[in-house]
Structure 1
Amino acid sequence: MKKLMMILLTLSLVACGASKTVRTAKKTIKGTWNLSNITYDRAGTYNIKLLDDASKTCFEGSDWQFIPNNNTGIYTISDSSCTSGERYFIFTIDEVDAQTGLYDFLLKPTNAKGRSETNEGFRIKLSSLTETSMQWQQTVMVDGSPFTISMNFIKS
């Protein structure tokens, strides 16, 4: 009976743990990244506030640090025409489809102590991740139709 309980406990721990794909993604994302540019899936000028924080112009060139062992991070906006400074967040990477390797990236802004003032977060598609580059895609509705924002990062 003791052996059976140990086997069941071991199986439940293995089943509940992050998949190998997610563990690999967390290892790859660890470190400092620069948000090099932001693009839209259609032409035009749009006044979009990303992550309920700042404009595209403010985010381009921002530096991001990911600390996967406690799922926290900091991004720093340094554009002098914007409200500059450090912003804190917590994140998780959820595997969406093991066959395609696509992920959902969940990001929740917090204060320096890791507490969220609004308890709201953002679901972003982690559409590409390599050792040197990463792309996030977020789809929002604009005038009743889907509009995709792509955020392109380069590892520092």
Structure 2
Amino acid sequence: MKNIIIFGLFFLMVSCKSNPVTKLDNKTEVGLKGNWELTSVSYPNSSYIKINSFGIADSQCFETSSWRFISNNNQGEMALRKAGCPTFSSDITWYVNQEGNLVLKFVGADVKAKTVKEGYVLKVANLTENAFQLFDTVDVAGKTITLVYQFNRIK
């Protein structure tokens, strides 16, 4: 009987072991809190190469887009509004991991974030009270280039 109880406690302890949790960079998340405008997208040879950002539109269409980051629940929204570009808006979920990467998902209406399989990982850099940058590396014809998304706080 004693062995059964010991085995049962051992089994219970092993089965309740928690999964590793992603460590978050809460300081950076709080710094991103608020309303932002993506003011420019730059990368080498941008006048010759067209890059589709986030599978949504040409990267230049993201200029003047508005972004809202809510840090207490890691949600928000974004909207494209540049003339001559497709109209697009979406809810987002996001977080910043300990490596300083913004992990981002676009979430459609009535869709739970956990069901969205595609996401994006971008490096957060140069965060100040009024500006920050996101760096995204993409493959263009076998070469890796870095896109720089420049954000400025909307006051």
Structure 1 stretches of 4+ moved >4 Å:
16-19
Code of the residue aligned with 1:146 in structure 2: it is: T
Does 2:62 match 1:59? yes
Aligned to 1:112: 109
Aligned to 2:119: 121
Unmatched runs of 5 consecutive residues or more in structure 1: 1-15, 97-102
- Shift in Å, 1:138: 0.5
Higher Cα Rg, which structure: 2
Q: Percent identity?
A: 26
- Shift in Å, 1:17: 8.6
- Shift in Å, 1:43: 5.5
* Aligned with residue 29 of structure 1, among 28, 32, 36: 32
Does 2:52 match 1:49? yes
- Shift in Å, 1:114: 4.9
* Aligned with residue 90 of structure 1, among 87, 90, 93: 93
CA–CA separation in structure 2 for the residues paired with 1:62 and 1:114: 22
* Aligned with residue 139 of structure 1, among 113, 137, 140: 137
CA–CA separation in structure 2 for the residues paired with 1:93 and 1:80: 31
**Could you state the TM-score of these two structures normalised by the residue count of structure 1?**
0.77
Write the deviation string for residues 62-86 of structure 1: whole angstroms up to 9, x where unpaired.
0100011111111111123222142
SS in 2 for 1:45: coil
Task: Note the aligned Cα RMSD (angstroms).
Answer: 2.2
Does 2:76 match 1:73? yes
Code of the residue aligned with 2:52 in structure 1: it is: K
User: Is this contact kept in 2: 1:66–1:74, CA < 8 A?
Assistant: yes
- Shift in Å, 1:60: 0.3
CA–CA separation in structure 1 for the residues paired with 2:60 and 2:43: 13
User: Is this contact kept in 2: 1:88–1:114, CA < 8 A?
Assistant: no
Code of the residue aligned with 2:94 in structure 1: it is: F
SS in 2 for 1:108: strand
Aligned length, in residue pairs: 134
Write the deviation string for residues 10-56 of structure 1: whole angstroms up to 9, x where unpaired.
xxxxxx6956xx22111110000000000003454212110111112
**Structure 1 residues 70 and 39 mapped into 2: Cα distance closer, same or farther (>3 Å)?**
same
CA–CA separation in structure 2 for the residues paired with 1:72 and 1:107: 10
